[in-house]
Structure 1
Amino acid sequence: MALHPKQLIGPIITRVVSSFVTSVLSLALVVFPGNNDNTLTSVEKREGWVLLFNGRNLDGWYGETAFWKVLDGTIIGSSGHRLTRNTFLITRQKFSDFVLKVDIKLANRNSGVQFRSKALRRYSVRGYQADATQGKAWGNLHGENTGRRVIVDGWTGKGEKVVRPGKWNHYEIYCKGRHIKLTLNGVVTVDTYDTMFPEGVVALQLHRGEPMNVAFRNIKIKPLGATKAYP
């Protein structure tokens, strides 16, 4: 039996409206995605994770204010001109044994994440660094102001295979006693034992030289204990 044209209009309109709503919702998810940056899940809270960066301001950190700011939930380090020395954004708190997580997006030049480091004059530090650079250093364990420079090569065959130049990269830094492990984008690049520094601050680097830009987000730490000195 043939349907009257009026009987066809209802289902057609329903399909058109449904398709339109689906398209609008899909577009909304693209334009306004859910943002879980700089937050802790309920599981992370139970496990003892703590945010080092709240996504709004630099509470808990100090550095040369001309070079550091918060924009759209990220810490932005920008020199704007040639630097004659390295400068750092430094935590006011020290840490000994922990797991530290941080996302880094390096636009150019050289940066890194200091840990178990000693704060020095003029916003400088001395200690371990998870390296991040345009060159062959992503994944390396570097010694800032220690005289050791590359403590462990984590680039060759490891960091070089997983780094995403110009995009967000994820570092996980594990320290327990003498044990130090760096994981870059899910790949372990360094797994070593060292006794140089048992505790210290966390710090973010702007490297000396030509103008550079770097961004950080999702900086969180899980303390594992308080091993402040080696036997």
Structure 2
Amino acid sequence: MKYLSVPAAMLVVFTMAGCNDTAPKETQTVPQDSVTATNDFVPIFDGKTFTGWDGDTSFWHIENGVLTGLETKDHQLKSNTFMIWKGGEPSDFEFKAEYRISADGNSGVQYRSEMVKDVPYGLKGYQADIDGADTYTGQNYEERGRGFLAMRGQIATIPANEKPVITGSLGNPDSLKQKIKANDWNEIHLVIKGNHMLHYINGVLMSETTDNDTTNRKSKGLIGLQLHVAPSMKVEYKNIQLKQ
């Protein structure tokens, strides 16, 4: 998730400015993809071992079939760390998992990402954001990159070397927040096709991003699960599936 918080006033300016811009014509936003059936999804976590995954196992463990990231006041991170799937660098795909996160937690599903030099298990790239307070859950954030791409409730298009342009709305972000269960299991579902990215929580579309920035966008890369620097937190993932 984010490294720097963005003041509310800046977000208002960002949104208003985006609404007044004209969306670039390079790539039109395609219609919203429907949530597809699960019968073509393949499990990528066996619930028992780290087979196919790589990360700092002093912070990650497997508990009752659940991949768990844990940070305590006596064992804290110096930089964000990721449990990284080693099965490839998907381009177009769908990803599904169930997650549960503590109230003070900060996490996310990283995708189309690359390793960060000199940062053990560090990734940079697109992220489907998750946090325990559900301030940012569902948004599209680029870790160690361009930052906020589409906040919850936004349909955004990203021109070349410019800030995102808000081209539509998926609903009030506070109303969408009500679809997310606090301190309970939720389902995250990502539909990633070409330069078009859809983030769903519990079957509800939370953000939609079309990336026309041919210089900075990524067409493929690693998938990872984030454990963010915090005084303490816990995040859990299970039923992790992928369809390519």
TM-score normalised to structure 1 length: 0.73
Structure number with greater CO (CA < 8 Å, separation at least 6) is 2
Distance 1:139-1:51 versus aligned 2 partners, 3 A rule:
same
**Does 2:54 match 1:62?**
yes
Query: How far apart are the structure 2 equivalents of 1:211 and 1:157?
Result: 26
1:1-231 alignment, distance < 5 Å: 44=38, 47=40, 49-80=41-72, 81-92=75-86, 93-107=88-102, 108-120=104-116, 121-135=119-133, 136-146=135-145, 148-154=146-152, 156-157=173-174, 159-195=176-212, 196-223=217-244
Preserved contact between residue 89 and residue 205 of structure 1 (Cα < 8 Å): yes
Q: What's the counterpart of residue 17 of structure 1? A: none
Amino acid at match of 1:57: T
Q: Secondary structure at the match of 2:191?
A: strand
Q: CA deviation at 1:209?
A: 2.2
TM-score normalised to structure 2 length: 0.69
CA deviation vs aligned residue, 1:67-103 (integer Å, no higher than 9, x gap): 1111111001112333221111001121110010011
Query: How far apart are the structure 2 equivalents of 1:201 and 1:84?
Result: 22
Q: CA deviation at 1:157?
A: 4.0
Query: How far apart are the structure 1 equivalents of 2:195 and 2:235?
Result: 30
CA deviation vs aligned residue, 1:20-60 (integer Å, no higher than 9, x gap): xxxxxxxxxxxxxxxxxxxxxxx855x3x221111111111
Amino acid at match of 2:197: I
Give the ranges of 4+ consecutive aligned residues of structure 1 lying more than 4 Å apart after TM superposition: none
Distance 1:173-1:44 versus aligned 2 partners, 3 A rule:
closer
Unaligned stretches of 5+ residues in structure 2 = 1-36, 154-172
Preserved contact between residue 140 and residue 209 of structure 2 (Cα < 8 Å): no
Structure that is richer in helix per residue: 1
Q: Secondary structure at the match of 2:89?
A: strand
Query: How far apart are the structure 1 equivalents of 2:140 and 2:38?
Result: 26
Query: How far apart are the structure 2 equivalents of 1:159 and 1:201?
Result: 28
Q: How many percent identity over aligned positions?
A: 32
Query: How far apart are the structure 2 equivalents of 1:149 and 1:59?
Result: 31
Unaligned stretches of 5+ residues in structure 1 = 1-42, 224-231
Q: CA deviation at 1:186?
A: 1.2
Larger gyration radius, structure 1 or structure 2: 1
Distance 1:159-1:62 versus aligned 2 partners, 3 A rule:
farther
Preserved contact between residue 71 and residue 230 of structure 2 (Cα < 8 Å): no
Q: CA deviation at 1:163?
A: 1.1
Q: CA deviation at 1:158?
A: 5.2
